[in-house]
Structure 1
Amino acid sequence: MSQPREITHGATYMITRRVLRRHLLFRPDAAITQLLIYALVVAARRYGLQVHALCAMSTHLHLIVTDVTGVLPRFLQFFHRIVALGTKVLRTWEGPVWDHEAPSVVRLLTRAAMVEKIAYVLANPVAAGLVRHAREWPGAKVDVDELGRGMLRAARPSVYLDPENPLWPDEVTLPLSLPPAIEQDSAEGFLQEVAAELGRQEAQAHAEMQQHGRCFLGAKRASKISPYERATSFEALRERNPIFAVGREQGDAWRIAGAAVRAFRASYRAALEQWHIGVRSVVFPAGTWWMRTFHGARVMDGVLMV
């Protein structure tokens, strides 16, 4: 049985999902970029999510979003389905697009975590040895100077989506926002922190490339590689699947967050045991999503989780 996951109104997350067997299906060409941005905007508008950062690598996709109304599972199901079906058509691909593992969903609990993870998403092409600077990546992405002030915009792709269906308008737009936890009067300072962290991560990637005697692939070559090839670089198997991040040097924040997760899980399991023996009046902890959505279970005031 998988661990229950709390779904909370207004929570900010870093979401990562990988392509099956590290195939390069999201190679950064114009068609796949259009599909990814269009699907993201439609899904975010449909479920009321705010989008803060995005980077589509050839083998995986990173997002930073805020789930305003506590419907993250619905958003992910819809968005990932449209991306997969559109990709299958664009790439004439048989079989699954996504890796069999569930998406990585990491809740960002502090300002430091938001700074670090947004910079991490933007710096991903540099850390992977593809381009020297994040702004050079030709795929679907948000540049550092677009954070909180840019706009995602895409025309409807010519494949898969029915132009007669009102669900798929000719063009969609979505303004990029900063996480709600970043107060308006501290926005400029936050953006400076992200830019500084991005610079730090880029410099670290440059040093590692030099240490190993490697050269950056370059945007042009990255855009022309076959989408049917597989990444051959070493990637350690994921031993842990974190569900929250607090950032570096945050004192007791990690311990407090861990205790809260354990308390939620214990309360959820106790309620589930009562449910299994027929006690339908049992109340699940705030943040319970699956049991409320699919079984009508009672939940404490607040939000739910799976």
Structure 2
Amino acid sequence: MLPRRVLPHQVHMITRRCSERRFFLKPTKATKAIVLYALGVALKATSVEFYGHVVEANHYHAVVGDPKGELSAFMQRFDQLIGRALNAYYGRGESLWCPGSFSNVEIHDEETLIRELVYVYSNPVKDGLVARPELWPGLKTAPEDMGNLTLTAKKPETAFFGGKRPKNWIARGTLTPAEVRQAEAEQRQEAARARAEGHRVRAPRSKLPDEVCIEVKLPALAEDRETFVSRVRAALEREIEEIHAKRQADDKTQFMGAAAIRALDPFASAGSTYPKFKLNPRIASGNQDGERQHLLRELKAWRAAYKAALEEWRNGRRDVVFPPGTNRMAKLHRCVVGEVPLLL
């Protein structure tokens, strides 16, 4: 596995997919509350900035800024909280996320940022789910939200966060509805007996905040908000027109629709999980004056420097300096990380 470079002051397009392409993120009141709250908690715990996202039934895309090189800490907090909460909600174990499905693509210029934002906004249309981005029933943002929207998310009332499970919640494949009702009645009776006997009610142990704020910020790569937002909106409308034209040419005139999306079985899958062996790019950039080639050479040089430093480390040299952007080794082993960017 190639090392992941996490540099400060970098914009990323991030993606994560559910295990076996299952619809664990399908839009419901509970899943939307959990994901939005987890996003707020992860943003509060790090310096990462949020620019926009869309959460589909089995994966999500988001565009974020990373002023201090804390992307990995943000992703760990975000994905871990979603995974644990949704596993408790669905009554399942093991990983909610597909191993190795986390992707971060570095964005280096305004044109590329617009392209990646348009990809995020138009994703439900591209996937044949709804005809317009605003018709998507799950979590989403729009171009006009950047620098103009602050969301508030309260701690969800699901069992993982100390609340109650929904009345119709049944652990899949374990209890029948009658058995669930009987178990709940026994729990209520036991709680009533404990109160009558004067047992101390255990204080909540959660340190999670009761409420978090999610600010949709304007990327630093954008010089003027009004101009940038209008450019993104125009590019988005062009992309939607192209998607509709392509679907029309392929005789695909129908979209799945919000009702069918809400009716999905969260344990169903979108299809085959056999790997497609597609490229997983780490750099997104325009190609002005060979900029992309320069960035790729820079990334290649970084990986070579990392590999050489890691070899020295394995040979027992603990004072070896790893290249800037080294994340995992710095976190796990507190290796020395250089502060001067690589020069080609």
Q: Normalising by structure 2, what TM-score?
A: 0.82
Aligned residue for 1:149? 148
Give the structure 1 partner of residue 303 of structure 2: 265
2:299 and 2:211 mapped to 1: Cα distance? 41
Does the 8 Å contact 1:66/1:179 carry over to 2? yes
Q: C-alpha offsets along residues 161-213 of structure 1, whole Å, 9 cap, x if unaligned?
A: 24735632222112110222223xx2222111211121122112211221222
The number of aligned residues is 300
Check the 8 A contact 2:51/2:217 in 1, yes or no.
Answer: yes
Identity over the aligned pairs, expressed in percent?
Answer: 30
| In structure 2, C-alpha distance between the alignment counterparts of 1:239 and 1:133, rounded to whole Å | 28
Superposed, 1:155-174 pairs within 5 Å as 155-159=154-158, 160-162=160-162, 164-165=204-205, 167-174=207-214
Cα deviation for residue 236 of structure 1 reads 7.8
State how 1:136-215 maps to structure 2 within 5 Å. Answer: 136-159=135-158, 160-162=160-162, 164-165=204-205, 167-183=207-223, 186-214=224-252, 215=254
| Secondary structure of the structure 1 residue equivalent to 2:288 | coil
Unmatched 5+ residue regions in structure 2?
164-203
Contact 2:121 2:140 in 1 (8 A): yes
2:339 to 294, 297, 301: 301
Per mean C-alpha deviation after superposition, the further-off stretch among 280-289 and 111-120 is: 280-289
The answer for the alignment partner of 1:27 in structure 2 is: 26
Q: What letter is aligned with 1:294?
A: L
Give 1:140 deviation, angstroms: 0.9
* Displacement of 1:136: 1.0
Aligned to 1:243: 282
More displaced 10-residue stretch of structure 1: 233-242 or 5-14: 233-242
Letter matched to residue 213 of structure 2: T
* CA gap 1:167/1:67 in 2 versus in 1, 3 angstroms: farther
In structure 1, the residue matched to 2:79 is 80
Cα distance 1:82–1:95, how it changes in 2: closer, same or farther (>3 A)? same
Residue type of the alignment partner of 1:36: V
Superposed CA RMSD = 2.1
2:266 is matched with which residue?
Answer: 227
More displaced stretch, 218-227 vs 74-83: 218-227
Which residue pairs with 2:119 in the alignment?
Answer: 120
